[in-house]
Amino acid sequence: MIPHGRTAPHRRAVLASGLASGLVSGLVSGLACAMLPAAGSRAQAEPGAPSLAALAAKKGILFGMAVTAEQVGLMPPLAAIAVREAALLVPGVELKWSEVEPEPGRFAFADADRLAELGRRHGLALRGHTLLWHEALPAWVAATNRDAMPAVLRRHIREICRHYAGRVQSWDVVNEAIQPGPDRSDGLRRTPFLETLGDSYIERAFDLAAETDPAAILTLNEYDLERDTPWQAQRRQAMLNLLNRLVRRKVPVRALGIQGHLDARRGPLDPEIFRRFIRDVASLGLEVYITELDVIDRDLPADIARRDAEAARAAQAYLTAALAEPAVRMVVTWGVSDARNWVDGNPDMRRTDGLPSRPHLYDDAFRPKPLRAAVADAFRAAPVRPAP
């Protein structure tokens, strides 16, 4: 199995480039925002073309993009694209535990707040990613024992959910909770939360989030659920078992996020298998979101025209299958432009020939790529969702 590692040093990359975080913050709130179109005056991707958010909205789908404070601070054109194309923003790193509560009880909301404010000024919704994840976890959390963990978890979730209460469309409460292995029949991933609190950590987290921000849609977010391989079939089953259990226990989970980092190495996509899984989730009364769409182009041709065409084909096939299911109500791309993309920061994901990755809808000069056209076409072809 190819590891799904992600150790990209997003923050360090900026610091290494000589920019102190204070300057980045200043850029985000000053330079970048000053160059953005004002709320209500949404420029269009190509002259006369509707935004992706508008195309999606016609079908009852919410379209969003993940951005980081660094990207927005360093690249005003990227921020301009995001607020023009998207109806929702997701802070890509700023709400992960290591960023938002680096030391016990010390919360650092400034970077996420800037992104929230950017979205608010342009009328965009906000999505929270993520309250609990086994990655981006400070060492002190991993070292917390079973007596102390309940209070650590409670403070973390309460503090963050309270800070953004009423402003968040949805929260990824637990990210990547499953990882089937020989040692557990439930397929749950061994994390510091599972080890200390047992499987009830998941419902505990959902209950805390729901109490603190009752308006937010609470989700589980997961990868490797779509493809036609025995491994992913096992993961689908583990996820369905988990969702079933949560729904039966009346845990306030309302949606499943499927990440959608498209990577052909992980197996073929059989649209019927993918759609059946979405229907199985929907039959539990849950919505489905595609939360982190991009193309891991590691093994695609070096030639840019061919590579972009293959990436576009992969995304179109994927979205065509997903959007045929009315339970899919949101699509979020895990980035905007290939400039400073997260894939190149990840040794398991980036190309081995040294060429820059091209995972996103806009290239590194902020021009729309065939991938953008593919997403637009998939929205155009999608059936209208019935009103929720």
> Partners of 181 in the beta sheet?
184
| Minimum separation from the CB atom of position 216 to ligand XIL (A) | 18
Size of the site for ligand XIL (CB under 6 A): 10
| Minimum separation from the CB atom of position 12 to ligand XIL (A) | 9
* CB-nearer residue toward ligand XIL: 214 or 347: 347
Residue written as token pair 């200390």: 196
| Minimum separation from the CB atom of position 335 to ligand XIL (A) | 7
Does residue number 259 form part of the binding site for ligand XIL (CB under 6 A)? Answer: yes
**Cα–Cα dist 315/371, whole Å:** 7
Which of the ranges 6-14, 52-60, 235-243, 296-304 carries the binding residues for ligand XIL, by CB under 6 A? 6-14
> Partners of 31 in the beta sheet?
none
Which of the ranges 2-10, 38-46, 234-242, 355-363 carries the binding residues for ligand XIL, by CB under 6 A? 2-10
| Minimum separation from the CB atom of position 77 to ligand XIL (A) | 19
| Minimum separation from the CB atom of position 371 to ligand XIL (A) | 17
Which of the ranges 3-11, 42-50, 177-185, 247-255 carries the binding residues for ligand XIL, by CB under 6 A? 3-11
Residues 274-293 that bind ligand XIL (CB under 6 A): 292
| CA of residue 272 relative to chain centroid, distance | 24
**Cα–Cα dist 87/114, whole Å:** 17
| Minimum separation from the CB atom of position 92 to ligand XIL (A) | 5
* 356 phi/psi in degrees, rounded to 5: -65, 145
**Cα–Cα dist 305/290, whole Å:** 26
Which of the ranges 5-13, 115-123, 265-273, 369-377 carries the binding residues for ligand XIL, by CB under 6 A? 5-13
Residue written as token pair 């590579």: 307
Residue written as token pair 């996020």: 257
* Backbone φ/ψ region at 343: left (φ over 0), alpha (ψ -120 to 50), beta: alpha
| Minimum separation from the CB atom of position 96 to ligand XIL (A) | 7
Residues 70-109 that bind ligand XIL (CB under 6 A): 92-93
| Lookup: tokens for 203 | 């419902």
| Minimum separation from the CB atom of position 42 to ligand XIL (A) | 26
Does residue number 189 form part of the binding site for ligand XIL (CB under 6 A)? Answer: no
Please give the C-alpha separations between residue 173 and each of 153, 170, 178, 326, in angstroms, as whole numbers.
Answer: 12, 9, 14, 23
For residues 331 to 360, the per-residue mask of contacts with ligand XIL, x marking binding by CB under 6 A and - elsewhere, is -----------x--x---------------
Reference 238, options 252, 256, 251; nearest CA is 256
| Minimum separation from the CB atom of position 324 to ligand XIL (A) | 25
Does residue number 184 form part of the binding site for ligand XIL (CB under 6 A)? Answer: no
Residue written as token pair 């953005």: 36
For residues 359 to 378, the per-residue mask of contacts with ligand XIL, x marking binding by CB under 6 A and - elsewhere, is --------------------
* CB-nearer residue toward ligand XIL: 92 or 192: 92
**Cα–Cα dist 214/218, whole Å:** 9
* 123 phi/psi in degrees, rounded to 5: 75, 20
> Contact with ligand XIL (CB under 6 A): which of 175, 212, 333, 357?
175
**Cα–Cα dist 209/343, whole Å:** 30
C-alpha dihedral over 170, 173, 175, 180, to 10 degrees?
Answer: -130
Chain positions contacting ligand XIL, by CB under 6 A: 6, 8, 10, 92-93, 175, 259, 292, 342, 345
